[in-house]
A and B are shown apart, each in its own frame.
Chain A
Amino acid sequence: MKLITIAGPPSAGKTSVILRAAEHLSAKNRKIGILKFDALATADHLLYQKAGLPVQYGLSGGLCPDHYFISNIETGFLWGVQQQFDYLISESAGLCNRCSPYITGFLAISVVDSLSGAHTPKKTGPMLKFADIVVITKSDIVSQAEREVFAFHVRLANPIAMILFVNGITGQGAFGLSKCIEQAPESIAISGETMRFTMPSSLCTYCTGETSIGEQFCRGNLRKMRIAE
């Protein structure tokens, strides 16, 4: 089975892009399963079901979604193996700019929205910088020149990724993406593999339920902002 991890900010077009690429893979009689990870709520599983794709989803609730992702990916992977999928695609919403769900040796795809502005790529962390493929969506809405300027900034943020434009609605570009997904590495197990980038360090009093504001309540791994003169 090939596991493909896909991450990107909310509403970037992840679900749409996965659906459009899956159409090309399904046309070749490939079996595709979806794992969807989100924080508080998701309706994406309905879209996948409607497209005839088997899907499992999990909500992290009070936990960081990427911590939740990494502690559940093995379970998801085993489900995929048991279902005999050719491709298992995980969709996770990148909610902070510090986390990424990518695993060494597995195809990692970042989805970014061309409307998010030329300065966004350099502000996006490992979710963009450690991906193998960066998919740029919604470029139908902006001019060719703005698309190119946006892609240039993506290139600077991630020098080695393959950059693809995919229209999540019409599917333009999804054929190329499906070709790349076909090239993803094959794997039989995930236990023992490692993440591409560390999770943010945590554990302050607020991680464990503190809600009060004030010096005396802050303990643990803290960092203070400096006010410029």
Chain B
Amino acid sequence: MKKAIEDLPLQKFISMHPYILGYFAPLVKQFLSKTITLGEWIRSLTDDDFEEVGMDRGQTVNYLQFLIRYFEERGKRTSVKTITVIGGTNKFGEPENVVFHVSAGEIICIVGPTGSGKSQLLADIECIADGDTPTGRKVLLNGQAADTTLRFSTENKLVAQISQNMNFVIDMTVWEFLTMHAQSRMVAQPSETVENMMVCANDLVGEKFSPDMPVTRLSGGQSRALMIADTALLSDSPVILIDEIENAGVDRQKALSLLMKEEKIVFMSTHDPLLAFLGSRRLVIQNGGIAKIIEASAKERDNLSRLQNMDVFMMQLRTRLRRGDSIDEKLYFSL
């Protein structure tokens, strides 16, 4: 195996593993001829060339093999069909007495006052708690406890987060950024995936944006839409934690159905009735513990459709405002 990659022509090696150029970046000024093999190229560099950029010649081939294997492994999606949460204790040490299962494609809402322990619940799910967090909760995947590498390693993350913070600091256009993200995920056809993400994101947002917009110039709503599309279509994390989707400029219902369609398990902390009724269940958090679990009833579902009408009504007004219309007729709305 070691022999094999060293004998590959440099050009071929790079076209097989384009991301590898990132590893060589510090040495790149030394890419003289691409007709030589990888091994010949490495041998053509001096020890000083490596030392200069803080790299270790002896490890280069090992590291390359490691990276190739590593990224191959990453390409495989982890499949999580169910999550089980086994209750621990609240902040008074009283037992929660709950066990619940969540299946792929389901949305669970988390409600409760600020400081009640919603974030701790999300954190317990994120680190796949094993009785070792302050609440003593246990989280099982497909009915089993997760192993340590899965729990703490950043890149095997089972959980993706959509938080309030959707800022970008990177100096790139939307297209460049999504392409880079798709490449880092080893997507075979990045341009196709990026195209899809653009369509989805623009479908969620009131104000459309083009692929050559710098990411740092996107509005709050556009960034959120982009990140929701990205999470749905590119993230290989089967579980998504959402910390409230702000109303501004994003079609939240469409966003959630996109995530459900992709068979994600969604935990969403929200106080928005429209979103809360979309979930199959609500966890009520009080004093750091899960105080009760409310199943969405038929009556609540009935209320959902009324709220949806109200949402459409508001959205239409927003569109008119954006267009520059005056809204001086007397507004009527009835549930």
**A-side interface residues toward B, CB under 8 Å?**
97-98, 100, 115, 117-118, 122-127, 129-130, 136, 140-146, 148-149, 151-153, 155-157, 159-160, 162-165, 172, 175-176, 179-180, 197-198
Contact = CB atoms under 8 A, between A and B. Distances in A.
Interface in B112-157: 123, 126-127, 132-133, 148, 151-155
Nearest to A98: B54
Nearest to A197: B54
B170 A153 contact: no
B304 interface: no
Given A159-B67, A198-B51, A180 B152 contact: yes
Contact of A144 (B22, B171, B231): B231
B332 interface: no
27 contacts: A97-B54, A115-B169, A117-B170, A118-B170, A122-B22, A129-B54, A130-B54, A143-B165, A144-B161, A144-B162, A144-B163, A144-B231, A145-B178, A146-B169, A146-B170, A148-B181, A149-B177, A151-B155, A152-B22, A153-B22, A155-B155, A156-B19, A156-B22, A156-B67, A159-B70, A172-B126, A198-B51
Contacts of A175: 127, 132-133
A151 B154 contact: yes
B168 A159 contact: no
Given A156-B20, A164-B154, 4 more contacts: A145-B234, A146-B177, A149-B184, A159-B67
B153 A143 contact: no
Interface string B224-248: 0001001100110000000000000
B296 to A, nearest CB: 27
A100 B51 CA distance: 13
B313 interface: no
B230 A145 contact: yes
Contact of A142 (B154, B155, B165): B165
Given A129-B54, A129-B55, A140-B165, A149 B170 contact: yes
A160 B127 CA distance: 22
B36 interface: no
B: interface residue count bin: 35 or more
B184 A146 contact: no
Interface in B18-57: 19-20, 22-23, 25-26, 51, 53-55
Nearest to A129: B54
B167 interface: yes
A179 B170 contact: no
A157 B20 CA distance: 10
Contacts of B162: 144
A143 B54 contact: no
Contact of B153 (A115, A157, A162): A162
Contact of A163 (B126, B155, B231): B155
A124 B123 CA distance: 31
B167 A142 contact: yes
A143 B66 contact: no
Nearest to A177: B152
B160 A179 contact: no
A148 to B, nearest CB: 6
Contacts of B54: 97-98, 100, 124-127, 129-130, 197
A135 B151 CA distance: 15
Interface string B52-74: 01110000000110110010000
Given A98-B54, A136-B154, A145-B181, A160 B66 contact: yes
A160 B63 contact: yes
A142 B168 contact: yes
A117 B169 contact: yes
Contacts of B170: 117-118, 146, 149
A157 B51 contact: no
- Of A117, A127, A129, A144, chain B has the most CB atoms within 10 Å of the CB of A144
B166 interface: yes
Contacts of A141: 165, 167, 169
A115 to B, nearest CB: 5
Contact of B227 (A125, A140, A145, A156): A145
B123 to A, nearest CB: 6
Contact of B166 (A126, A129, A143, A159): A143
Contact of A148 (B26, B53, B55, B184): B184
B284 interface: no
Contacts of B270: none
A89 to B, nearest CB: 19
Interface in B65-123: 66-67, 70, 123
B317 interface: no
Given A145-B227, A176-B151, A155 B70 contact: yes
A124 B53 CA distance: 8
